[in-house]
Amino acid sequence: MTTSSTPKSHPLLVFSFLLLLLGRSSLAKKERCHPEDKRVLLKIKKAFNDPYILTSWIPDAIGDLPYLQNIFFHKLANFSGPIPYSITKLKYLKSLTISWVNLTGTIPDFLGQLKNLTYLNLSFNNLTGPIPTTLSQIPNLGYIGLDRNKLTGTIPASLVNPKSPPYLILSHNQLSGEIPSSFGDVDFGKIDLSRNKLRGDISMLFGRNKTTQIMDFSRNMFEFNMSNLEIHPSLTFLDLNHNKIYGSIPDVMTQLELQGFNVSYNRLCGKIPQGGTLQTRFDYSAYFHNRCLCGAPLNITC
């Protein structure tokens, strides 16, 4: 149930999409839109016709739609600016996507007031500053996508709520520092921290009990000994390229049904374990530029 307008599409398309998503479950099925919401939507429609809105792009009136559950803004031309405070009036909001719209400023602390949020996607914008610690005040936030912005600072330890095993996508930012050790207690579904300036040991994110499927830590400065990593069979994608990982590739990797695997540009040594998908699915480029890795598919004998 998603729509994505092209960069040239008119804001009114989004308005009509909002209209489609409206409604309280308690309402009679034929009455799609709460009457009060309808009145406000008409106000928003008027606002979108007013070119002035382009300077403060989400009209304040959006906060007068208390029953709205989903917001999906994607690839809208000429939209730019910060997230408005009025969004906190949307007490029932479950899903918030504002992506590819040149959102600027910081991620506001007040997003933590959206207690019903389960999905947050602010990817592909120009957001700056740190990740607010207030996101941890949202009890069931299971999906956090803040990728492809200009976020800085460290990842707050409180960001992730272990009770709602999260998808955490923070790739393509300028985040720095180490991963909070408390993340070792979390069983992520997917974790993508690629293309940041993160460093330190992330071996606590692995383990026999973790059912994580996708891990992308590529292009950071992570540094740990890979030799004794324990990995659950659910892992299907592991990208570690361009870090400072040392030791050797553990034999357990041959027992996984890997769709993606890349340890190139690290400091690994020793023989690449032979078997599983390690030779059949991945060529030398998944292994090259290490300190002293050898064996197939590298053309280096051990």
Ligand X SMILES: *[C@@H]1O[C@H](CO)[C@@H](O)[C@H](O)[C@H]1NC(C)=O
CA dihedral 273, 278, 279, 283 (to 10 degrees): -120
Query: CB-wise, 161 or 264, nearer to ligand X?
Result: 264
145-to-159, 163, 200, 239 alpha-carbon distances in Å: 12, 18, 22, 18
Stretch that binds ligand X, among 30-38, 75-83, 249-257, 292-300 (CB under 6 A): 75-83
**Contact of 98 with 75, CB cutoff 8 Å:** no
Please give the residues from 246 up to 285 whose contact with ligand X meets the rule CB under 6 A. Answer: 246-247, 262, 264-265, 282-283, 285
Least CB distance to ligand X at residue 267 (A)? 8
**Quick count: other Cβ atoms within 10 Å of Cβ 63?**
17
Least CB distance to ligand X at residue 47 (A)? 14
Q: What is the CA radius of gyration of the chain?
A: 23
Please give the residues from 19 up to 38 whose contact with ligand X meets the rule CB under 6 A. Answer: none
**Contact of 123 with 146, CB cutoff 8 Å:** yes
Contacts of 261 (CB under 8 A, 6+ apart): 237, 238, 239, 253, 277, 278, 281, 282, 286
The mark string for 124-163 relative to ligand X (x by CB under 6 A, - otherwise) is xxx------------xx----x------------------
* Cα dihedral 151, 100, 142, 137 sign: positive
Query: CB-wise, 1 or 30, nearer to ligand X?
Result: 1
Least CB distance to ligand X at residue 196 (A)? 15
Among 19, 32, 45, 80, binds ligand X (CB under 6 A): 80
Query: CB-wise, 227 or 255, nearer to ligand X?
Result: 227
Query: CB-wise, 30 or 274, nearer to ligand X?
Result: 274
Stretch that binds ligand X, among 37-45, 73-81, 196-204, 251-259 (CB under 6 A): 73-81
Please give the residues from 176 up to 235 whose contact with ligand X meets the rule CB under 6 A. Answer: 207, 209, 225, 227-228
Nearest CA-CA partner of 286 in 297, 275, 270? 297
Least CB distance to ligand X at residue 276 (A)? 15
Regarding 116 and contact with ligand X (CB under 6 A), the answer is yes
How would you classify residue 172: left for phi > 0, otherwise alpha for psi between -120 and 50, otherwise beta? left
Least CB distance to ligand X at residue 130 (A)? 18
Tokens of 56: 């403060």
Q: Cis bond leading into 156, ω under 30°? A: no
Query: CB-wise, 30 or 286, nearer to ligand X?
Result: 286
Least CB distance to ligand X at residue 215 (A)? 14
Contacts of 225 (CB under 8 A, 6+ apart): 203, 245, 246, 247
Regarding 48 and contact with ligand X (CB under 6 A), the answer is no
Query: CB-wise, 176 or 279, nearer to ligand X?
Result: 279
Query: CB-wise, 30 or 51, nearer to ligand X?
Result: 51
Put the strands of the sheet holding 267-271 in their side by side order.
246-247, 267-271, 292-294
197-to-144, 153, 217 alpha-carbon distances in Å: 19, 10, 11
DSSP-based three-state secondary structure for 156: coil
Residues binding ligand X (CB under 6 A): 8, 10, 74, 77-78, 80, 91-92, 97, 99-100, 102, 104, 115-116, 121, 123-126, 139-140, 145, 169, 207, 209, 225, 227-228, 241, 246-247, 262, 264-265, 282-283, 285-286
